[in-house]
Structure 1
């Protein structure tokens, strides 16, 4: 059992890594938020052990951050990190009672994710120059990104053994190493087959492994490069919208919902652990419906008096 503040954080991070299998990026996020909380405790000469931490310590910290212009989303994330270590310490019996149970966090209004229209997606997918190996790679990558709703990290980390073109599906290991099977549309299968047969061999180098999408150096393409390429082809397609890392994943989910897919199926395809995470896409559809109503319904449009 760890009562020392730093030891408690280290034990918690080890638990998340070894038992929960969380990614390095997620662990770094937890560590950053928790160390910021410890810095606050140290600055106020407050407790030296977790047993002495109180709800007031947590509330005061969140309130101080709100005065520094942190967004509500950031405040909720930081409070979530403290709640998580609180629950861990209770299970570990390092503390006897919760220090976050009565803490009230900021209300979080989740923004609808940024998406493209079906027509914009079509223009984006046609943007790569398919006369080059890199262009064939990029076409296959974009087709798969949109067709299967992958995360950027899942796309860049994809291995050959995860793909079955005959079945038109791929096996994905998402957050927490959770496995799911994602279907591939016929156009994605065709683009992937074209890339694997006619382009990937030209990108292979002596030390190339089994990564699907290769850089010019023969190494696995990075998440940063995926984001750069999506931005590049968005501009090439004449799409004047801000580019987000998960743009095609969000578009995949929204277009499925618009087409009538069940929310639970979309949750499974996206690999969301909680249905509430998937429900954000209903906001997109609701806003689209409301916009259509305002544009076309005679009682929504501004009308003259007729006098």
Structure 2
């Protein structure tokens, strides 16, 4: 494991990898290095055939195609770094056989299900007022949950009706619909001043202890209102992000605008929603056409 700490510094300091990417890449590389150790092979001496053998062993152990593909990407990255620091002359993970991954369409809520879900928090109650503001903002902008809980007061401009959201050093501006603006204004005027532990707290959304909301805390909020609404679909923070994108596309928004609001680096990540909308139309056709 002598190279793992150096690779971690590379991902953190030079690549500015997100916490999730950092965790998954390090886990993949650690498991690979363990396998090499069992085989008596040094990472600097590993050949392309060794890396191929490792990925085949993952499949034999029942790992999914998606897991194998991600591990291959992790190993390519690891060995690229090894080349950069002069430990090896060529990348043994280059040209690995691609594992076919079946890309599943994201689950979305119907417009009515979104309305029902957003109606659940009681804005007359302090907690409900905060929850209403968080859920409206999430559906209004399609931002990631990490971006939502990372928002500070200076990231919002309610008079102009937009938020500024930064991810990996890139900032994007996303508009807000009026219901979201009203919910946020209500929260900021009535509730947040009483919730914050310290007057200089920067976090937009805080928990009942007055500190920045956590991912786990917000996950519980989502599950609470799903149960309260009686919606059978499994709702996660990403479900609202997917629904935001699919509903915009259904109503005529262009893909590039949706890509910009979602913060996708590649348009191919956004194009998945065209398949979601097409599948939805096909389902409606098959259900309602008299000769289908």
Once residues 103 and 30 of structure 2 are traced to their aligned partners in structure 1, the CA distance between those partners, rounded to angstroms, is: 26
Deviation at 1:299, TM superposition (A): 4.1
Aligned residues: 292
1:252-287 Cα offsets, whole Å, 9 max, x none, are: 111111111111111111111111211221221121
> Which secondary structure does the structure 1 equivalent of 2:88 belong to?
coil
Assess, with a 3 A threshold, how the Cα gap between structure 1 residues 33 and 281 changes in structure 2: closer, same or farther: same
Once residues 289 and 53 of structure 1 are traced to their aligned partners in structure 2, the CA distance between those partners, rounded to angstroms, is: 50
Q: Is the 8 A contact 1:207 1:218 kept in 2?
A: no
TM-score by length of 1: 0.90
Deviation at 1:88, TM superposition (A): 2.8
Deviation at 1:213, TM superposition (A): 0.8
Are 1:81 and 2:74 an aligned pair?
A: yes
Are 1:119 and 2:140 an aligned pair?
A: no
Tell me which of 21, 26, 29 is aligned to 1:26.
Answer: 21
- In structure 2, the gaps of 5 or more residues are none
Q: Which runs of 4+ in 1 moved over 6 A?
A: none
Deviation at 1:86, TM superposition (A): 2.5
Once residues 203 and 144 of structure 2 are traced to their aligned partners in structure 1, the CA distance between those partners, rounded to angstroms, is: 16
TM-score by length of 2: 0.95
* Equivalence for 2:274: 282
Moved more, 19-28 or 197-206: 19-28
Assess, with a 3 A threshold, how the Cα gap between structure 1 residues 245 and 43 changes in structure 2: closer, same or farther: farther
* Equivalence for 2:256: 264
Q: Is the 8 A contact 1:180 1:271 kept in 2?
A: yes
Deviation at 1:92, TM superposition (A): 4.0
> Which secondary structure does the structure 1 equivalent of 2:236 belong to?
coil
Are 1:63 and 2:61 an aligned pair?
A: no
1:14-63 Cα offsets, whole Å, 9 max, x none, are: 122112222233212211110000001111112x242x222222221111
* Equivalence for 2:227: 235
Once residues 30 and 267 of structure 2 are traced to their aligned partners in structure 1, the CA distance between those partners, rounded to angstroms, is: 31
* Equivalence for 1:159: 152
Tell me which of 205, 210, 223 is aligned to 2:202.
Answer: 210
Are 1:72 and 2:65 an aligned pair?
A: yes
Are 1:45 and 2:40 an aligned pair?
A: yes
Q: Is the 8 A contact 1:208 1:218 kept in 2?
A: no
Once residues 64 and 49 of structure 1 are traced to their aligned partners in structure 2, the CA distance between those partners, rounded to angstroms, is: 17
> Which secondary structure does the structure 2 equivalent of 1:199 belong to?
helix
Once residues 278 and 88 of structure 2 are traced to their aligned partners in structure 1, the CA distance between those partners, rounded to angstroms, is: 45
Are 1:295 and 2:287 an aligned pair?
A: yes
Q: Is the 8 A contact 2:72 2:96 kept in 1?
A: no
* Equivalence for 1:6: 2
Assess, with a 3 A threshold, how the Cα gap between structure 1 residues 136 and 280 changes in structure 2: closer, same or farther: same
Once residues 230 and 209 of structure 1 are traced to their aligned partners in structure 2, the CA distance between those partners, rounded to angstroms, is: 24
* Equivalence for 1:305: none
Deviation at 1:102, TM superposition (A): 2.4
1:210-252 Cα offsets, whole Å, 9 max, x none, are: 1111111000111111111111111111211112231111111
> Which secondary structure does the structure 1 equivalent of 2:139 belong to?
helix
Assess, with a 3 A threshold, how the Cα gap between structure 1 residues 35 and 113 changes in structure 2: closer, same or farther: same
CA-based RMSD of the aligned residues comes to 1.6
Once residues 245 and 146 of structure 1 are traced to their aligned partners in structure 2, the CA distance between those partners, rounded to angstroms, is: 9
